[in-house]
Amino acid sequence: MTQPMKKSAYKSQRKAEQERLEKQRKLMRKLILATGIIVVLGIIAAIIFTPKSDPTNFAYDTLPVLGQKDAPVKIVEFGDYKCPSCQYFSQNVKPQLEKEYIDTGKVSLYFMNFPFIGEDSQTAALAAQSVFHQNNEAFWKYYDLLYKNQQDEHTVWATPDFLVKLAKDNALPVDYDKLQSDIANATYEKEVNSHASTARAAKVQSTPTLFINGKEFTGEFSDYAGIKKAIDDALAAGTSK
């Protein structure tokens, strides 16, 4: 038969149990604190040591350029000739850029195709690339003409006949037969597709999208004040990519 525990022995055992539990609680608190510190330090390290996204590198020498090639700030526009927002940019923002920055040698503007609205977006891009390869200055006149004569984005208007006639009617200084042939034979299809691949790799979501010295401008394309600030910041940084 088991003998009942003496009261003094019970108290002694209870005290020892309480001391053991208290030691466990202190140990757990230390472990939790240490774990928390490690987590915080890990987050700080991740913020400090995670590399910033590198600027996108563009093959500027292969692109249409408006302005001086050695301008300290280079802007790349991704556009679709059927895009109404691109039309707005070409008619309202680009002229301000030209007057304040491009004509003064501070900025050069480049264009890359991101045709996604319709099949004739691709046709217009092929035509514009043909004009560019014949005459860089004529390209920018054609760029303006395409947006000036832009029609409803839901209709197929950028047909080969329309695109060639647009060049002829405005006496663009290019070979019209070559322009027609380049469109029909999709001479610059790989080039246009390469532009689009670059856009997708750079996570371009819409047109127009601007990159200023390789870094995407995340403000509104219609916000000239915002674009101006980004340009001035790039000029102050004194580097171009």
- Given a cut of 60, whether residue 171 has pLDDT beyond it is yes
Note the pLDDT tens digit of each residue in 190-200. Answer: 999 999 999 99
| Range in 15-19, 63-67, 103-107, 129-133 the model is least confident about | 15-19
| pLDDT average, residue stretch 108-132 | 98
- Residues whose CB falls within 8 Å of the CB of residue 88, separated by 6 or more in sequence, listed in order: 221, 222
Closest CA to 207 of 85, 125, 63: 85
Please answer whether residues 122 and 115 qualify as being in contact, where contact means their C-beta atoms are separated by less than 8 angstroms: yes
Mean pLDDT, range 93-99, rounded to an integer: 98
User: What is the distance between the alpha carbons of residues 96 and 51, in angstroms, rounded to a whole number?
Assistant: 35
Burial-class residue 110 by CB neighbours within 10 Å (0-12, 13-18, 19+): buried
CATH 3.40.30.10 fits 60-237, yes or no: yes
Write down how long the chain is: 241
The predicted model gives 74-101 an average pLDDT of 98
User: What does the alpha-carbon distance between residue 142 and residue 170 come to, in Å, rounded to a whole number?
Assistant: 9
**104/207 Cα distance (integer angstroms):** 26
- Residue 154 phi/psi, 5° resolution? -90, 0
Domain ranges for the chain: 1-50, 60-237
Checking if the pLDDT of 20 tops 80, the result is no
Q: Please give the single-letter amino acid code of residue 52.
A: K
The C-alpha angle 187, 188, 191, rounded to 5 degrees, equals 155
- By CB neighbour count within 10 A (0-12 exposed, 13-18 middle, 19+ buried), where does 172 fall? buried
The three-state (H, E, C) secondary structure of 12-45, written as one string: HHHHHHHHHHHHHHHHHHHHHHHHHHHHHHHHHH
E strand spans, the chain: 65-66, 73-79, 107-113, 209-212, 215-216
pLDDT digits (tens, 9 = 90+) for 39-68: 445 544 443 444 445 789 999 999 999 999
- Please tell me the predicted confidence (pLDDT) of residue 27: 67
pLDDT band at 10 (very low <50, low <70, confident <90, very high): very low
Mean pLDDT, rounded, for 112-125: 98
Q: What is the mean pLDDT of the chain?
A: 87
The CB density around residue 208, as the number of other CB atoms within 10 Å, is: 23
